[in-house]
Amino acid sequence: MTKHDIKEFLKENTGYLKKGPEYLSEKFNCSVETCKLGLREAREEAKLSGFDLENVSENEISEFNTFLKRNEIDKADIKSVKFWQNMTGDHRFSVVVKGEDDLMRAAKEELIELLENSSEVIEGSYEPEFQEPIAYEISLPDIHYGKEVGDTLEVLEDEYMYRVKSLIDKAEGLDVERIILPIGNDGMNSEGYSRATTKGTPQQDCAEWQQTFVGYCALIVRAIKYLSSFAPVDVVVVQGNHDFERMFYAGEFLHAYFRNNTTVTVDNSLNTRKYYQYGVNMIMYTHGDKEKPAEMPLIMATERPMMFAESKFREVHCGHLHKEMVNEYRGIKVRFIPSICKNDSWHKAMGYEAKRVAQAHIWNKSTGYEGYLQTNL
C-alpha cells in the first residue's frame, strides 16, 4: 500500500489513528516508514478537524462513525468535532458541519429582528368591572415542537394557535381578569444540536435545531400577543425533561421580548418549580418527571409557606404523561394535563395512546377552582 492508500484508510477508520506505525506495517504488509508518513498526515488532518485523539476511545470513534452513516454525513463536510464526558460519565460528541454557520447566522438575525420589533412600550388599557373575576389558565403542555410526526412545523403552529383561539372563544361570558399561560413542559422535542433529551435519549426531529428554537419562540410570541388583546397575560416557563436547557433560553428571550409590555409578565426564575397565586388559589407548576405526586403537596407547603397559608384552594399542574390524571392528597389535587402532541413512530410502535385535547382551567378569585373547558382534536 502507498502512503496515500494508508491515509485514505485512516480517514474512513479513525479508530486506527491511535495505533502505531509498526501495527499498521504488519496489518498492510508495507514498510514502517510508509505507514509512519501516512499516519502522521492523517493525524494532522484529524486534529485540524477538531479530533482530540488523546482523550477519545476507540468505542467513541466507532459510535461517531455510526452516527455519520446514520445521518448521511460525509466526513469531507465536517468542520469540527468535539468529544466530552458528561457529569454521569456518559460519553458525548458534537459535530459542526460546513455551511451551518449560514444557518446559525440566519437564526440569530431572525431572533434579533423579533426583539427589535418588540422595542415599543405597550401600556395596558384594561378597565374591567367584573362581578366574578377569574384567572383563565390556558394549558397546552408537551407540544414537542420539532418532533418528527409527519407534519411540517407550520401545521403544528397552526394547530396550536387554533386551540388557543378555540379556548378563548369558549371563555365568552366569563369575567376573565387575567390569563395564565404555562409554556414549556417539553415545549421543544429535544435539546437541539444533540437531537436528544436532556439526559441523552435520542430523538427524531423534523428540522434543524436553530429552526426549532426560533420557530418555537416565534410561536409563543404569537400566542402571547393574541391573548394579551383580551386580558393581561402571565407566562410561566416550565422546563421539561426533553428541553430543560432550551426552555430556559426561550424564557429569557420572551422576557426580553416583552420587557416593555406592561400587560405581559414572564416567570423564568431559576426554580424548577414555579408558583402562582390568584386570590384564594395557589398553583404549583412542574413537569412531573422528578417529584413523586404524593409528595408534591408537602413540597408546596415547604417551598412557599406564606402562599400556602394565604390560599384555600391548591393544585399542582404537571405535563409529562400526555394524558389526564388527577389524584388528591390531603385536599390538594395533583393534576397531569393532557397534550395535543401526535405520537411519533416509536410511541406508535410501543402502543402508547392518549386522547389529544387542549384544556383551559378556571380559577375564581374568591371561590376557587371551578373546572375546565376543553377542545378535542
With cut-offs at 50, 70 and 90, classify the pLDDT of residue 7: confident
Q: Give the CA radius of gyration of the chain.
A: 26
- Per-residue pLDDT for 215 more than 60? yes
What is d(CA 364, CA 377) in angstroms, rounded to the nearest whole number? 27
Q: Which of 144-158, 162-176, 363-377 has the lowest mean pLDDT?
A: 144-158
Pick the last residue of a domain from 97, 113, 136.
97
In a domain, 222, yes or no: yes
What is d(CA 355, CA 325) in angstroms, rounded to the nearest whole number? 12
In a domain, 103, yes or no: no
- Per-residue pLDDT for 95 more than 90? no
In a domain, 146, yes or no: yes
Give phi and psi for 88, each to the nearest 5: -90, 0
Give phi and psi for 175, each to the nearest 5: -85, 75
Whose CA is closest to 182, among 146, 231, 211, 224? 224
In a domain, 118, yes or no: no
Q: Which residue has the higher pLDDT, 138 or 130?
A: 138
Q: What is the pLDDT of residue 3?
A: 82
Domain extent for 266: 124-376
Average pLDDT of the chain, as a whole number: 86
Mean pLDDT of 235-258: 96
E strand residue ranges, 22-102: 78-85, 91-97
- Do 137 and 286 lie in one domain? The reply is yes
What is d(CA 342, CA 147) in angstroms, rounded to the nearest whole number? 9
In a domain, 117, yes or no: no
- Per-residue pLDDT for 144 more than 60? yes
What is d(CA 90, CA 289) in angstroms, rounded to the nearest whole number? 21
- Do 217 and 347 lie in one domain? The reply is yes
- Do 166 and 272 lie in one domain? The reply is yes
- Do 10 and 52 lie in one domain? The reply is yes
Q: What is the pLDDT of residue 4?
A: 83
10 Å Cβ neighbour count for 301? 16
Total domains, the chain = 2
